Structure 1
Amino acid sequence: MTDFNLDLAPGEFVTLLGPSGCGKTTVLRTLAGLEDFESGEILLDSRSIARLPAHHRRIGLVFQNYALFPHMSVFENVAYSLRLRRVAEATVRSEVATALAAVGLDDYGPRLPGQLSGGQQQRVAVARALVMHPDLLLFDEPLSNLDAKLRVQVRSELRRLQRRLGTTALFVTHDQDEAMSLSDRIAVMKSGRIEQVGAPEEIYARPATLFVAQFVGKVNALPAGVVGEPNGKVEIELLGTRVRAPVPSATFPKDVLALLRPEAITLGQPGEGLPGRVEEIEYLGDLTEYRVRVGDTVLTAVRSALGDSWRIREGDQVGVGFKEQTIHLLPRSDSNA
C-alpha cells in the first residue's frame, strides 16, 4: 500500500470500491489488527491503535462468508466473543438480547445458522460484531454470497440499521451498485491507492480520472479540443461539431477527454443531431442500450424500455445529440486508466 490516507467522520458510512487485488481487504484487515504494516499510523478517536492487538481495538469485522459456527445457536454465535472475555452470564444474556433486537432477530436465538436465510445469517454476523460495542464496524464484501434479489433487500436493511445505530462503518466491495446505494462517501481504489473520495453523485458525475469514470458505470470517453470559453461555458470540438460544456473546476489544456454517460446521449429522428447508425441493441429490462456509430466512433446510449414514442431497430439511421450540461472534461494527458 502506498500513499493511502482516509478519514471517517463519526456515524459515517464509507465504502472502499475497486477491482479485485487493489488492496481493499488489506486495508480492512490492517485496521482490524489482522495484518501488520511497515509505516504509517492508525488513529481511532484521535488515539493511536496501530500497536494494539486486535481484541483491544474496539473494531467489529463482518466477514465475507459471515464465519458463523454451524453447530452453535444464533445466541451462542453472538455471545462467543463475550464468553472469550469471561463476561458474567447475566451481562452476556443482556448484551446478546440487545444486539439481536438491534438487527431484528429477537426470537431467533435458539436457531442454528443452517435454519436461517442468507439475509438472516448476515444480520447474525452484524449482531456478533455489535455486541462488543465497536467504535468502528468493518464489512468485507458481506453481500457477495447472496443472490441478486436478496442482495438488494439486505443492503437496504443494512443501511437502515447503520443509520439507526449511528455506528461508523467502512464497507468493502467491487460492486458499484452496492457502493452507490449504501455510502455517504465512496473511496475508489486502484493498485493500493485512492483515486478519488467523494459522495456517490460526485464520483459518478465528476470522476477525477478515467479509471474512476470507467469503473463506476459505463462512460463514453471522447477526444475533444477546447476552442473557446463563451458566457461561462467551455466550447469544445467534439465528433466534428461544437458543443458547450460546464466550466471545469481547474484550468485545462486544449486537448481534453469529454466524458458522457450513456444517459447523456440522446437519440432522435434522422436530422435531429449528428447522423448515426444503430449497430447493436441490448434489452436490459428497465432500459434498452444502444451501440450507435457516428463516423469512426461507436457510442453507447440508453433509453427507457417503456413508453418510447418510436421504436429503434438495428440498422436504423438516427440523430445523435448530447445533454451538454452533463459533459465532464478531463485533461487528455492525465486520463490513463
Structure 2
Amino acid sequence: MQKTSAKALAIRNLDKSYSLGGGRRLPVVTDFNLDLAPGEFVTLLGPSGCGKTTVLRTLAGLEDFETGEILLDQRSIARLPAHHRRIGLVFQNYALFPHMTVFENVAYSLRLRRVAQETVRSEVATALAAVGLEDYGPRLPGQLSGGQQQRVAVARALVMHPDLLLFDEPLSNLDAKLRVQVRSELRRLQRRLGTTALFVTHDQDEAMSLSDRIAVMKSGRIEQIGPPEEIYARPATLFVAQFVGRVNALPATITSAANGQAQIETLGMAARVPLPAPDLPKEVLALVRPEAVTLQQPGQGLAGKVEEVEYLGDQTEYRVRVGDTLVTATRSALGEPWKIREGDAVGIGFKQDTIHLLARSAEAA
C-alpha cells in the first residue's frame, strides 16, 4: 500500500449535548476546536467521560451535533452521511464479523460499494500485506490472537484508502506487552502511509509514544495541546500535570525574577528555576516530577523520612515526608548506591532546571 496524499482536518466550534428529558440537555463537547496538519498523528487524551470518543464518533458521522463545522481538506463533511466521508474507523472491540474470514471482513466495505471482484482481491491483499497478515485471509477471527484481530480491523479501515484514520482506544483489550508491540506497529504503518490520524485513549503511555501532538481533554474542552515533551515538561494546568504522569505540586513563593529565571522558596529551601511567564503571581505551585527528585544521604538537602517504598520492577518509588508535605521520588531499581527502607532518614533535593511553575488557582486549592 503506497503513501497517500494526506489531508488536513479542521474542527471548528463543535458543540454536542445529549437530551436528559424535560427540555434539559447534558453538554458533552463544548466549543471544541482542533486542527490536524496533513499526515499528522494527534491523540485525544483524557479521563472517561471527557468527550474524546464523542468527538471521534462525530467526525465519523456516527453522532450528530448542534453547532460547528468539520472540514477535511478544506471541504465541509459535517452533513455528509458516514459512508461518504472517506474516513476509516478502528474500534476498541475490533467489530469483526466472527462468521466471516479475514479476507471477507476486510472486503466488506468494498462489497457494499459493489466494487469489481478483481479489484476487491487486489485491494484486500494490499491492505493485509500492509499490516503483515497477507497469509491470514482464509482464517476466521476466532483463530487469531488479539493483536492479529486488531491488525485486521486496521486493514479493514485502510482498504478504502481513507483521507482520515480514527482510532477509538484500539489497544485497550490487549495485554500490556502486546499493547506495546501493536502500538509500535500502528505508528510505523501510519508514518509509512502518511495518512492523517486521530487517536483516542486514556492511556498516557500510548499518547506519549504514538503522537506528534497530544490534546489533553477535560469536560468537553481541550486543556492543552502540544508535542508530548511540552505536555509533560511544561503542563499548562494542574489537571494536565496530574493526568499526564505523576507530579509533586509544591506551594512556592517567587522572591525575585529576571532574565527568564525565578528565585523561589519551597519547603523552606531556595531554588533557581525557569520562569515560564513574566506575569506569574508571587504565590505559585512548583511542579516537580518524581524522577527529578534526588534522594541523598541524611544531612544533605531537605530532611525527610521515608514512609513508603514501592518496587515497580524497572524503578522503585519512594514517598518521603518532608515536614507536613509528602514528596514522591523515583529512581532506577538497578544499581542503587544504597538500600533505602521504610522509616529511613534521607535528604531530598531537586533537579532545579526541570521545575515548572504554575499560578496557584482554585483548581489547586
TM over 0.5: yes
Q: 2:42 maps to which residue? A: 14
8 A Cα contact 1:226 1:254, kept in partner:
yes
Q: 1:96 maps to which residue? A: 124
Could you say what secondary structure the match of 1:4 adopts? Answer: strand
Inter-partner Cα distance in structure 2 for 1:250 and 1:177 = 32
8 A Cα contact 2:260 2:276, kept in partner:
no
Q: 2:255 maps to which residue? A: 227
Q: 2:26 maps to which residue? A: none
Q: State which of 114, 122, 137 in structure 1 corresponds to 2:150.
A: 122
Report the AA paired with residue 98 of structure 1.
T
Could you say what secondary structure the match of 1:2 adopts? Answer: strand
8 A Cα contact 1:99 1:131, kept in partner:
yes
Q: State which of 303, 318, 336 in structure 2 corresponds to 1:275.
A: 303
8 A Cα contact 2:315 2:330, kept in partner:
yes
The 3 A distance-change label for structure 1 pair 299 and 85 is same
Report the AA paired with residue 224 of structure 1.
A
The 3 A distance-change label for structure 1 pair 234 and 335 is farther
Alignment of 1:149-164 (within 5 A): 149-164=177-192
Alignment of 1:1-337 (within 5 A): 1-230=29-258, 232-333=260-361, 335-336=363-364
Report the AA paired with residue 115 of structure 2.
V
Could you say what secondary structure the match of 1:134 adopts? Answer: coil
Q: What's the TM-score, normalizing by structure 1?
A: 0.98
Query: Deviation digits for residues 17-51 of structure 1, max 9, x if unmatched?
Result: 00000001100000000000000000000010001
1:230 Cα deviation from its structure 2 partner: 4.9
The 3 A distance-change label for structure 1 pair 128 and 250 is farther
Shift >2 Å, 4+ stretches: 333-337
1:3 Cα deviation from its structure 2 partner: 2.2
Report the AA paired with residue 205 of structure 2.
D
Identity %: 85
Inter-partner Cα distance in structure 1 for 2:148 and 2:78 = 33
Query: Deviation digits for residues 75-97 of structure 1, max 9, x if unmatched?
Result: 00000000001111111111111
1:247 Cα deviation from its structure 2 partner: 1.6
Inter-partner Cα distance in structure 2 for 1:231 and 1:39 = 45
8 A Cα contact 1:209 1:334, kept in partner:
no
Query: Deviation digits for residues 304-335 of structure 1, max 9, x if unmatched?
Result: 10111111111111110010000000000264
Report the AA paired with residue 248 of structure 1.
P
Report the AA paired with residue 251 of structure 2.
P
8 A Cα contact 2:264 2:270, kept in partner:
yes
> Going by fraction, where is strand more abundant, 1 or 2?
2
Could you say what secondary structure the match of 1:149 adopts? Answer: helix
8 A Cα contact 2:60 2:89, kept in partner:
yes
1:201 Cα deviation from its structure 2 partner: 0.5
Could you say what secondary structure the match of 2:36 adopts? Answer: coil
Gaps of 5+ in 1: none
Q: How many residues are matched? A: 337
1:271 Cα deviation from its structure 2 partner: 1.4
Inter-partner Cα distance in structure 1 for 2:260 and 2:33 = 35
Could you say what secondary structure the match of 2:298 adopts? Answer: coil
8 A Cα contact 2:261 2:274, kept in partner:
yes
The 3 A distance-change label for structure 1 pair 250 and 301 is same
Report the AA paired with residue 255 of structure 2.
V
Report the AA paired with residue 244 of structure 2.
V
Report the AA paired with residue 85 of structure 2.
R
The 3 A distance-change label for structure 1 pair 118 and 225 is same
Inter-partner Cα distance in structure 1 for 2:100 and 2:278 = 58
